[in-house]
Amino acid sequence: MKIIILSKNKKLKNCFSAIEKSKIYNVEFLLPEKIKEVLKNPETGTFVYLDYSEYEKPGFRRHIGNLLKNKTLRVGIIDTKDEILDIAEYFFSGISDYINKELISTVITPKRIKQAANFIPVVLNPEEKKNHNEKYITSWDEIEIGKKYTFSFMFIEIDYYKEWKNRWGKHKFSQFVDNFRKFISSRVSEINGKIWMWTDLGGLIIFPYNGNPIKEITSCFKLMLNKHIISVEKFNSNILLSYHIVLHVGDTVYKLEGNTGTIISDSINSIFHLGQKFAKPGELYLTDRISSSIPTGLKEYFIPAGKFEGYNICRLKRLE
């Protein structure tokens, strides 16, 4: 990964010396005025650090905003004089790292840069901000048919179905899918979820969104981690069960299961596209609208997986 540091401060050479020596990262120091060149044709995955003290304040905000528009970049701020009073404002905008005056006198480790690079904040575009339902719903009793709410979405689908169908036959495979649905329904009901749409191989589960969907993430993490146990205990199979999962947060009108055919929702379209066009067998993916809720103890297990339909995607590392 390339790291670009836009600053004249010579102390930063020592600060980033361990990063350069690690040979994992390609570190490049540029003059602050080179920001326009960086913005022209940035390399995907580049981490760009701007020195706050090197820019006029309105210009600095504009440069940060322009960098953040490119969703393939990671953006960090270096505050050599501790001038920024409210750094949270920039994190809310989408930056991934902040290096203050005290940190500059130390040597930053590759591990820290990796953590910063894997930090994926939730950034709502202006249209999403306008439509985003700020009232969090914690109970199904609060949800009325025909009204629009924010939900956590979970898409799950069985992998290698042709191989299983050929091996077992149509009837036995149909029974397997039915048992799979019952198993998933039981699992998600434990954390306030319900199956909402179902196809021949899997479907869409929804959860009332409470602003911090940790249970959805940890439950899916366990589904991926325990596939061997699930295969044996729940399906009496010596074949490893394989499925892929996508988690997302979005808005949609709520209707009862079976009456969802007339719903028009970008969020539903996005998660089905992710699950059927982007996801690979045996993987767990999260969009940037839910990945900021990954529990601290699990963050190291997730890595960037690219961009799809405007969303930054991360995935669970392969655990087998």
- The 10s digit of each residue's pLDDT in 74-103 is 899 999 998 988 888 788 778 889 999 888
Q: What confidence category does residue 125 fall into, taking pLDDT thresholds of 50, 70 and 90?
A: very low
Q: In what order do the strands lie in the sheet with 243-253?
A: 194-198, 202-208, 148-158, 243-253, 284-287, 311-316, 302-308
Query: For position 247, what pLDDT does the model report?
Result: 96
Query: For position 235, what pLDDT does the model report?
Result: 81
Of 8, 12, 43, nearest to 26 (Cα)?
43
Q: Are strands 243-253 and 284-287 parallel, antiparallel or unpaired?
A: parallel
Query: For position 320, what pLDDT does the model report?
Result: 55
* Cα distance between residue 222 and residue 215, in whole Å: 11
pLDDT over threshold 50, residue 42: yes
pLDDT over threshold 90, residue 171: no
Query: For position 120, what pLDDT does the model report?
Result: 53
Q: What confidence category does residue 166 fall into, taking pLDDT thresholds of 50, 70 and 90?
A: confident
pLDDT over threshold 50, residue 121: no
List the Cα angle 253/262/264 in 5-degree steps.
55
* Cα distance between residue 99 and residue 76, in whole Å: 8
pLDDT over threshold 70, residue 32: yes
Please compute the mean of the pLDDT values over residues 120-148 and round it to a whole number: 61
**CB-based burial, 131-165: b 16+ in 10 Å, e otherwise:** eeeeeebeeeeeeeeeeebbbbbbbbbbbebeebe
Please compute the mean of the pLDDT values over residues 123-137 and round it to a whole number: 46
Q: How far apart are the first and last CA of the chain?
A: 26
Please compute the mean of the pLDDT values over residues 14-43 and round it to a whole number: 87
Please compute the mean of the pLDDT values over residues 232-246 and round it to a whole number: 84
Query: For position 136, what pLDDT does the model report?
Result: 64
pLDDT over threshold 50, residue 134: no
Lowest pLDDT segment from 42-46, 57-61, 126-130, 244-248: 126-130
Query: For position 58, what pLDDT does the model report?
Result: 80
pLDDT over threshold 50, residue 130: no
Scan for tokens 């077992």, then name that residue: 168
Query: For position 212, what pLDDT does the model report?
Result: 77
Summary mean pLDDT of the chain: 85
Most confident among 19-23, 28-32, 306-310 (mean pLDDT): 28-32
Query: For position 69, what pLDDT does the model report?
Result: 82
Please compute the mean of the pLDDT values over residues 301-320 and round it to a whole number: 87
Query: For position 123, what pLDDT does the model report?
Result: 43
Tokens at 179, concatenated: 């048992």
DSSP 8-state assignment for residue 51 = E
Domain boundaries of the chain, sorted by first residue: 2-118, 126-316
Q: How far is CA 203 from CA 93, 162, 268, 297, in A?
A: 33, 17, 11, 28
Q: In what order do the strands lie in the sheet with 74-78?
A: 26-30, 2-6, 47-51, 74-78, 97-99
Give, in words, the CATH class of 2-118: alpha beta
Q: What confidence category does residue 262 fall into, taking pLDDT thresholds of 50, 70 and 90?
A: low
The stretches of 236-298 forming alpha helices (DSSP H) are 266-273
Contact 301, 317 (CB under 8 A): yes
Query: For position 124, what pLDDT does the model report?
Result: 40
Scan for tokens 């021949």, then name that residue: 200
Percent of the chain whose predicted confidence (pLDDT) is above 70:
92
Q: What confidence category does residue 272 fall into, taking pLDDT thresholds of 50, 70 and 90?
A: very high
Give, in words, the CATH class of 126-316: alpha beta
Percent of the chain whose predicted confidence (pLDDT) is above 90:
37
Lowest pLDDT segment from 59-68, 121-130, 214-223: 121-130
pLDDT over threshold 70, residue 129: no
